[in-house]
Amino acid sequence: MDHFDLSRNASLIEGFGGVKAAFLVISVSSDWLYPPYQSKAIVSALSAANVEVTYREIEFHYGHDAFLLEAGQLNYLLHNFLSRLFVSDVMAEDVITIGEGSSIEDAACTMFREGITHLPVVSEKPGKAVKADEKKLVGIVTAWDITRAFALKCRTLDEIMTKEVITANPEEPVETAARKMDSHRISALPVVDGDGRLLGIVGDEAINRFIGRF
């Protein structure tokens, strides 16, 4: 095993050429037999070969045999990798929405009545009913926006709603959605299709519940 070489013609990238599988590479921070830098070299080569790869490093002080002791972390990482949860698996489809022509008072009452803190704003056509599956996301209003509206005496929903909305795609991994929420410091993501139609909403509680159950 000490002489086994994954490379081909002294190239790891060439060694992984033509690979179809997705990879999960796990290393242990204190492993001297297979140190993390070697695992990272494999990850870099896979990425350069356009192969899907996920890297995780377990912080542990018991060296190479840590995999015998850290069954919990390993099970968690392996299960998440193999189960491949997508946003469509965890999103709520019955979304409470409000039309873009509604008032701030309408939005406030809806949020209070439904007990929600995020209210997607969808497109409306004056004088014509729009089917639920045809409504496009045009913005989002949060409980903080409502508070700000009354403090600043805003008059229209257009003044307070966020129009450049961070959204999720139903087919993207849950982990990607979680990273979006962390990086933008938000607790919910509307889920839209390629045409901007609202399909659902996913919150951090749902993501934590599904990811954290393993």
CA distances from 196 to 117, 130, 174, 209 (A): 22, 15, 19, 27
Q: Please report, in tens digits, the pLDDT of each residue of the chain (214 residues total).
A: 778 888 999 999 999 988 888 899 999 999 988 899 999 999 999 999 999 899 998 888 888 887 777 777 888 888 777 767 788 888 998 899 999 889 999 999 999 999 999 999 998 754 444 455 568 999 999 999 999 898 888 888 999 999 999 999 999 888 788 888 888 988 899 999 999 999 999 988 777 665 543 3
**Contact 56/156 with Cβ under 8 angstroms?**
no
Distances (CA, A) of 204 to 115, 132, 166: 16, 25, 14
Q: Where are the domains of the chain?
A: 12-83, 89-211
> CATH number of 89-211: 3.10.580.10, 1.20.1260.10, 3.40.50.720, 1.10.10.10?
3.10.580.10
Pairing of strands 98-99, 118-122: parallel
Query: Is residue 23 a contact partner of residue 49, using CB atoms and an 8 Å limit?
Result: no
Select from 202, 183, 5 the least CA-distant residue to 85. Answer: 202
